[in-house]
Structure 1
Amino acid sequence: MSHRPLPPPPLRIGDLVVDPPILQAPMAGFTNAAFREVVRQFGGAGLLATEMVNARGFVWMDQNEAEHPDRLWGVAEEARPLAVQIWDNDPETMAKVGVRLAREYKVSVVDINFGCPVRQVTEKAHSGSYLLREPDRMFAIISRLVEVCAPTPVTAKIRLGCSPESINANEVAHVVEEAGAAALTVHGRTAKDMFRGHADWERISEIKQHLKKIPLIGNGDLDSADKVVAAFKNYDVDGVMIARACLGRPWLFAQAAAALRGDEIPPDPTLVQQRDVMLRHYRLVVDRFGEEKGTVLMRKYACCYAQGKHGARHFRSHVANVASAEEFYSVVDQYFPQDRPAVIA
């Protein structure tokens, strides 16, 4: 187990320097351009990522001259560094998309999803975490993407295994490195666990000894600046990735970065300020998708912003049905949590 002094050194993914070594996880349905812009305004995230993109769907859209996936909204224009995560189980399909991302979109990192546990991706499409049982296919996918994307680095995100009875992350880590990937991210649960229980950081840390030259990024249950500091202090990782905890708290990255520097951790914004952040987020979504679709998409984000606050359940019950800007602003004005002692709602 490592006990390195803080702050940790910058993370190197190929030629890309990620500083601070704190990454924003790709999360389907959430980490779109509006969310990334809000995170960027607070700072603290060394590398941001898109939602995971279905490679097969991208190719179909391209062949049929349809608009590229909504999940690539903003990618061409926004600030770098930026990673795009893609998934499928066919090396050539992945290569077609990877080379476009590297050459035309000029992304900083092409990340491969080998960790998604959702049935639609695993059992129906034999992708995501399903491929952990097929290391040879993983090798083929990674090596092909490395070949066509160079010099853009290719990375992989995995879970510990498909189930607690079939943990094979050490073997898979070797395959990922041998295939030429520039970094490995490990979520400390198995696919069968979904998001239940606790991430096993001891098992994440053990993987480091099976890697010769590429960095290891740990992911799972990092919901405070103190936990980020503890991850670097107690476990043998080169970087950390923050996922669900940041959805209603995009300032978490800035807090974690300050803690790693040894600076005083900035306090959470006041509830009034948090409401203003949410409204700014809402306007970005509506600008892209229009009022009707944007309002519906914003419902889930609004619930995240309220989570853990006094009156959150009451707010969620009302915001879950809004369908227009007028309704959204009205519900926020009436029901968004006010400055009171926080309790879990």
Structure 2
Amino acid sequence: MTTHHDNTTGPLAPPIWIGPLKVDPPILQAPMAGFTNFPFRQIVRQFGGAGLLATEMVNAKGFVWLDEQEATHPDRLWGVADEPRPLAVQIWDNDPPTLAKVGRRLATEYQVSVVDINFGCPVRQVTQKAHSGSYLLSQPERMGQIIEQVVAACAPTPVTAKIRLGCARDKINATDIAQVVEGSGAAALTVHGRTAADMFRGEADWEMISAIKPYLKKIPLIGNGDLDTPEKVVRAFQNFDVDGVMIARASLNKPWLFAHSAAALRGEPIPAEPSLEEQRQLMMQHYHLVCDRFGVQKGTVLMRKYACCYAQGRHGARDFRKHVAKVTTREEFHQVVETFFPRELQPTPV
């Protein structure tokens, strides 16, 4: 096991620099398709603790098409223009000029803090059908061309890359890819500790993430995978050679995880989890934000998956999920939450 930090020499997790951008604390919110939209980011920002937030990933080809039709910007960029910074936007495709064109728009027109390129998505629609995401890990040369062109188009806005360990367990090439990423001008590298073939099965391999660090000369290495408690975030910095961490799925039912992790890294006591009543109120606030954005009809349907996340791992979650999965109106949503959302367990009388 690689031990990176020595507590006697300074903070456990000092800020990282992504090009000219200081990220403090070095805890990043992962881009997640279908989830990290404007209302979710508002909730995360309310708690604090995330040094850099990210949008959902944006399909570059779709963006260019909208542009050519003079239509509005992609739905996934809603709110970005007026949102607090720092903020990263993640883009995906396999065509260097298309990605460069979109990167330039994001850097100049939207003035985002970071343009991130997705080389990690393992979903079939992105890999097999579009030959993008983690499919490109088998084509380091193409990755290099993409990064070089996007970096040139976005300057001085920093460009980063997110990868997996490789396409499959017998095709792990993350150390080679890391050198391509840095050599092509990227300002940071995020590595998810699984291969594309693993999808989200098994455990993320932090030893393999850590093994990449000696191959990077200047840019920060950000580790990602299975960070679902503040204690695990602390251990990632204590035990592995990473400069930053990225929290993904665990934040969907614990958006306060960033703030609690940041407190733990500062050596402060980890705050108590919000009570189930506070979590219910938070979910209702989230619901109203979603409805403000998408209207009640679409917002109610969209909120089903978030509501399921909020209940995850709580007593009575299955019953709640079963009912909330069918709601279509505001009244139904309120009623299901009132009736089925998990409540504090009453102590059994002795």
Q: What range is the shorter-chain TM-score in?
A: over 0.9
TM-score (norm: length of structure 1): 0.98
Shift of the alpha carbon at 1:165? Answer: 0.5
TM-score by length of 2: 0.97
Q: Is the Cα contact below 8 Å between 2:151 and 2:158 reproduced in 1?
A: yes
Shift of residue 3, structure 1, vs aligned partner: 3.5
* Structure 1 position 68, deviation (Å): 1.2
Q: Is the 8 A contact 1:99 1:148 kept in 2?
A: yes
Q: Is the 8 A contact 1:130 1:162 kept in 2?
A: yes
Measured in 2, the distance between the counterparts of 1:70 and 1:282 equals 18
Which residue identity lines up with residue 2 of structure 1 in the other structure? Answer: T
Partner of 2:267: 262
Tell me the number of residue pairs that the alignment of Structure 1 and Structure 2 aligns: 342
Runs of 4 or more above 3 Å deviation: none
Give the match for residue 4 of structure 2. Answer: 3
Alignment partner, residue 219 of structure 1: 224
Matched, 1:185 2:194: no
Q: 1:139 aligns with which of 137, 144, 164?
A: 144
Do residues 204 (structure 1) and 209 (structure 2) align? yes
* 1:307–1:341 CA distance, 2 compared to 1 (3 A): farther
Write the deviation string for residues 203-257 of structure 1: whole angstroms up to 9, x where unpaired.
Answer: 0000001101100000000000000000000000000000000001100001000
2:308 is matched with 303
1:175 is matched with: 180
User: Structure 2: 5+ residue runs without aligned partners?
Assistant: none
Query: Which of 111, 127, 134 is equivalent to 1:129?
Result: 134
Contact 1:310/1:341 (CA < 8 Å) preserved in 2?
A: no
Give matches, 1:81-160, under 5 Å.
81-160=86-165
Structure 1 portions without partners, runs of 5+: none
Does structure 2 conserve the Cα–Cα contact (< 8 Å) formed by 1:61 and 1:67?
yes
| SS class of match (2:129) | coil
- Structure 2 CA distance, aligned partners of 1:246 and 1:70? 22
Offset, 1:341: 7.5
CA distance in 1, matches of 2:282, 2:227: 22
CA distance in 2, matches of 1:80, 1:251: 19
**Residues in 1 aligned to 2:3 and 2:87: alpha-carbon distance in whole angstroms:** 29
Aligned residue in 2 for 1:13 = 18
Distance in 2, matches of 1:152 and 1:341, equals 53
Is the 1:51–1:84 contact (alpha carbons within 8 Å) kept by the matching residues of 2? yes
Whether 2:323 is the aligned partner of 1:318: answer yes
* Equivalent in 276, 295, 303 of residue 290 of structure 1: 295
User: What is the CA-CA distance between 1:2 and the residue it aligns to?
Assistant: 2.9
Identity of aligned residues (%): 72
Which shows bigger deviation, 67-76 or 295-304? 67-76
Structure 1 CA distance, aligned partners of 2:265 and 2:147? 32
- Matched-pair contact (CA < 8 Å) for 1:10–1:19: yes
Contact 2:41 2:53 (C-alpha < 8 Å) held by counterparts: yes
- RMSD across aligned C-alpha pairs, in angstroms? 0.9
CA positional deviation for 1:140: 0.4
Is the CA contact 2:12–2:238 (under 8 Å) kept in the aligned structure 1?
A: no
